[in-house]
A and B are shown apart, each in its own frame.
Chain A
Amino acid sequence: MSKKAKKRVLLIIVFINILAVISIYTDFYGMGSRNIITVGAFTGSYWDVQNGNSYKILDRAIEKFNEKYPDVRVEYKSGITKGNYSSWLYERLLEGNAPDVFFVFDEDFNPLSELGAMKDLSRIMERDKDFDKDKFYSTAFSCGSYKDKQYALPYESAVNLMFVNKSILSGAGISMPSSDWTWEDFYSICRSITRDNNNDGINDTFGVCNYTWEDAMVSNGVELFGSDGSIVNLSSEGSAEALAFIERLNKLNDGYTVTSNDFDLGSTAFQPLMFSQYRAYKPYPLRVKKFSSFEWDCVTMPKGPRGENTSYMDTLLMAMNNDTHNEKYAWELMKILTCDEEIQSLIFEYSEGASPLRNVTDSPEIINMLEKEESIKSSLLDYAMENATVTPSFSDYASAVRMIDSAVNEILSGDSNISMSLIKKQRDINNYIHNSP
Chain B
Amino acid sequence: MAVENKKVITEKSLPEFAMILMKNMSFMVVLFIAFLMCMSTYGIIGEGSAKDFLSQLPHIQGAPWKTPVLAFLGLCTLMLLINIEKRDTKTVVYCCIAELLMAGWLTYIVNFSYTGLILLIFADYMRYIRTTRYTYFMLATAFIIYIIANSDILDSSLGLVPLSSYISYYNTYVRWLISGAISLCASLNSLLFIVYMIFIMHRQTVENRHMQDMNKQLNDLNKQLKAANIQLEENAGKIANLTKVEERNRLAREIHDTLGHVLTGVVTGIDACNELITVAPDVAKKQLENIANAARQGMTDVRRSVKALRPDVLETLPFAEALEKMINEMVLSTRVHISYENSADIGNLSEDEEDVIYRIIQESITNSMRHGRATEINISITGENGNIIINISDNGIGCKKIKNGFGLSHMKERLDMLGGSLGVDGSEGFKVRAVLPLRLK
Q: Which residues of A contact B (CB under 8 A)?
A: 3, 7, 10-11, 13-14, 17-18, 20-21, 24-25, 27, 86-87, 90-91, 93-97, 111, 114-117, 322-323
- 7 more A-B residue pairs beyond the given contacts A17-B80, A94-B60, with a C-beta to C-beta distance below 8 A: A25-B62, A25-B70, A90-B51, A94-B44, A94-B54, A96-B63, A116-B60
Chain A residues near B85 (CB-CB < 8 A): 3, 7
Closest Cβ of chain B: how far from A90's Cβ, in Å?
4
* Residues from chain B with Cβ under 8 Å of A94 in the complex: 41, 44-45, 50, 53-54, 60-61, 64
List the 10 closest A-B pairs by CB distance, nearest first: A96-B63, A17-B77, A91-B50, A90-B50, A90-B51, A116-B59, A94-B50, A91-B45, A21-B73, A117-B60
Chain B contact residues (Cβ within 8 angstroms of A): what range?
Answer: 20 to 34
Check B77 against A18 for contact (C-beta < 8 Å). Answer: yes
Q: Is B250 an interface residue (CB 8 A)?
A: no
Write the nearest CB–CB distance from A96 to chain B, whole angstroms.
3
Set B51, B66, B84: member contacting A10, Cβ < 8 A: B84
Q: Which of B42, B44, B50, B98 has the most CB of A within 10 A?
A: B50
- Distance to closest chain A CB from B100 (angstroms): 14
9 contacts between A and B (CB under 8 A): A13-B77, A20-B73, A21-B77, A25-B62, A91-B50, A93-B50, A94-B60, A96-B63, A111-B55
Question: Which residues of B60-89 are within 8 A (CB) of A?
Answer: 60-64, 66, 69-70, 73-74, 76-77, 80-81, 83-85
- In the complex, residue of chain B having the shortest beta-carbon distance to the beta carbon of A3: B85
Taking a contact as CB atoms under 8 Å apart, the answer to whether A96 and B77 are in contact is no
State the main secondary structure of chain B at its contact with A. Answer: helix
In the complex formed, the residue of A with least CB distance to B62 is A96
Binding site for A on B (CB under 8 A): 41-42, 44-45, 48, 50-51, 53-55, 57-64, 66, 69-70, 73-74, 76-77, 80-81, 83-85, 98
Give the residue of B44, B45, B61, B84 whose beta carbon is less than 8 angstroms from that of A7: B84
The winner among B41, B42, B50, B60 for most chain A CB atoms within 10 A is: B60
CB B299 to nearest CB in A, in angstroms, measures: 81
Q: Which of B50, B57, B76, B77 contacts A87 (CB 8 A)?
A: B50
Tell me, in angstroms, the Cα distance from A117 to B58 when the chains sit together: 11
Residue in A closest to B71 when the chains form the complex, CB atoms: A21
B50–A322 touching, CB < 8 Å: no
With a cutoff of 8 Å between Cβ atoms, the chain A residues found around residue B66 in the complex are 24-25, 96
Taking the closest CB of chain B, its distance from the CB of A330, in whole angstroms, is: 17
- Residues of chain B contacted by A96 (CB below 8 angstroms): 61-64, 66
Residues on B with C-beta less than 8 A from A90 are: 50-51, 54
Q: Are A13 and B80 in contact (CB under 8 A)?
A: yes
Assuming A93-B60, A116-B59, is B54 touching A14 (CB within 8 A)?
Answer: no
Give the distance to chain A from B36, nearest Cβ to Cβ, in Å: 15
Residue ID in chain A nearest B56 by CB atoms: A437
Interchain nearest-CB distance for B407 vs A (Å): 56
By the criterion CB–CB under 8 Å, are A87 and B48 in contact?
yes
Tell me the bound Cα distance from A96 to B57 in angstroms.
Answer: 14
A95 x B55 contact (CB < 8 A): no
Query: With A and B bound together, what is the CA distance between A154 and B50 in angstroms?
Result: 25
Contact A10–B83 (Cβ < 8 Å):
yes
* B50:A14 contact, CB within 8 angstroms: no
A24 touches B69 (CB 8 A): yes
Closest to B98 in A: A14
Q: CB distance A17 to B76 under 8 Å?
A: yes
Which of A7, A17, A24 is packed against the most chain B CB atoms within 10 Å? A17
Residues of B contacting A27 with CB < 8 Å?
62
Determine if A87 and B63 form an interchain contact, defined as CB atoms under 8 angstroms apart: no
Residues of A within 8 A of B83 (CB): 10
Nearest-neighbour CB distance to chain B for A124, whole angstroms, equals 19
Establish whether residues A95 and B73, one from each chain, have CB atoms under 8 Å apart when the complex forms: no
Residues of B within 8 A of A116 (CB): 59-60
Contact yes or no, B63 A95, CB < 8 A: yes
Interface core residue of B44, B48, B57, B63 (most chain A CB under 10 Å): B63
With A and B bound together, what is the CA distance between A359 and B149 in angstroms? 56
Residues of the A chain whose Cβ atoms lie less than 8 Å from the Cβ of B98 = 14
Question: How far, in whole Å, are A7 and B80 apart by their CA atoms in the complex?
Answer: 10
B64–A10 contact, CB under 8 A?
A: no
Which of A17, A87, A94 has the most chain B CB within a 10 Å cutoff?
A94
**Contacting pair B60 A14 (CB below 8 A):** no
Q: Which listed residue (A11, A87, A115) contacts B60, Cβ 8 A?
A: A115
Q: How far is the CA of A86 from the CA of B69 in the complex (A)?
A: 29
Q: How far is the CA of A20 from the CA of B74 in the complex (A)?
A: 9
Kindly list chain A residues whose C-beta atoms are within 8 Å of the C-beta of B50. Answer: 87, 90-91, 93-94
The reply to whether A14 and B51 form a contact with Cβ atoms under 8 Å apart is no
Cα of A11 to Cα of B95 in the assembled complex, Å: 10
In the complex, what's the smallest C-beta–C-beta distance from A437 to chain B, in angstroms? 9
* A25 to chain B: closest residue by CB: B70
For the complex, what is the distance from the CA of A117 to the CA of B81, rounded to whole Å?
A: 35
Question: When the two chains form the complex, which single residue of B42, B53, B55, B74 contacts A21, counting CB atoms closer than 8 Å?
Answer: B74
Closest to B41 in A: A94
Q: Which residue of A lies closest to B45 (CB)?
A: A91
Residues of A within 8 A of B74 (CB): 17, 21
With A25-B70, A91-B45, A94-B44 as known contacts, state yes or no: A11 contacts B64, CB within 8 Å.
Answer: no
Chain B residue numbers with a CB within 8 Å of A18 are 77
- Roughly how many angstroms separate A322 CA and B83 CA in the complex, as a whole number? 39
Indicate if the CB atoms of B57 and A115 lie closer than 8 Å. yes
Measured between C-beta atoms, what is the minimum distance from A189 to chain B in Å? Answer: 43
Given B45, B51, B76, B80, which contacts A95 in the complex, CB threshold below 8 Å? B45
Closest chain A CB from B72 CB (angstroms): 9
B70 touches A97 (CB 8 A): no
A257 to chain B, nearest CB (A): 33
A14 adjacent to B41 (CB under 8 Å): no
